[in-house]
Amino acid sequence: MKTPLFDLSGRTALITGGGRGLGKDIAEIFAAYGANIAVCSRRIDNCQETVEALQSSYPIQAKAYACDISSEENVNDTVEAVLSDFGRVDILVNNSGATWGEKAEKMPLEAWRKVLDVNVTGTFLMSKAVGNQMIRNGYGKIINIGSVAGLKAEPANVLNAIGYSTSKAAVHHFTKDLARKWAEYGVTVNAIAPGFFETKMTKYVLEQSGDAIRQNNPMKKLGDPKSLQGTALFLASDASDFITGQVIAVDGGSSL
């Protein structure tokens, strides 16, 4: 009997920022399709809640870890712990992110550095730490969470966060470059660029400009968890084995 294209049974996924929002949604769909789940973030309490919910709903292993992905020591220790607990990591989702809303001419340097450290450096550090064992195993799926903000420049009244948009554009190119470098090792690297979804990170923007954002979207709506879950499952599964270095916009057409 052939293995279904989207079956993740026996595989282990590590999801950064998996305690809430889009990371939690991704953890849930992976678990529903059989993957064991490791989630990490700076706030382990959120991750623990995710783990408990997954374990009560699906017959999988799950564990939470505290990790500051902008710290190389923290990242390496966390990945070592996950490998010790699960044996391997087959799927990595670099979802942890930070933002800072401010006009470019007033953006504090420390805010710029914080956003870049989490969104870009954190993605690099986690990919490097997990990627080394993927290379040894000859298999791996890396999914980076970018943003439509890294594909197009939004007007200031919609999004005024130049550090965030710059960092996500960097994540998109990092995805392409790493995909080129690691294709020979059996590791695929792709990115999802979400449009506006209702999350804690977008709460303020949507409170201020939600109606305009909906009106400007070709589908006249915001993203829903199911939309992102389907794309993430596709990229984590055998269905995407011949796809690497791609940035898939999940945005209702807002980047067109």
Residues serving a catalytic function are: 164
d(CA 68, CA 56): 27
Counting Cα atoms < 13 Å in the Cβ hemisphere of 64 gives 22
List C-alpha distances in Å: 69 to 75, 79, 119: 6, 11, 9
Q: How many secondary structure helices (H) and strands (E) does the chain include? A: 8, 7
Q: Which residues pair with 193 in a beta bridge?
A: 249
**DSSP readout, 131-192?**
HHHHHHHT-EEEEEE--GGGTSPPPTTT--BHHHHHHHHHHHHHHHHHHHHHGGGTEEEEEE
Task: Annotate 124-146 with b (16+ C-beta within 10 A) or e (fewer).
Answer: bbbbebbbebbeeeebbbbbbbb
In whole angstroms, give the CA distance from residue 22 to residue 31: 14
- Name the 3-class secondary structure at 255: coil
- Three-state secondary-structure class, residue 38: strand
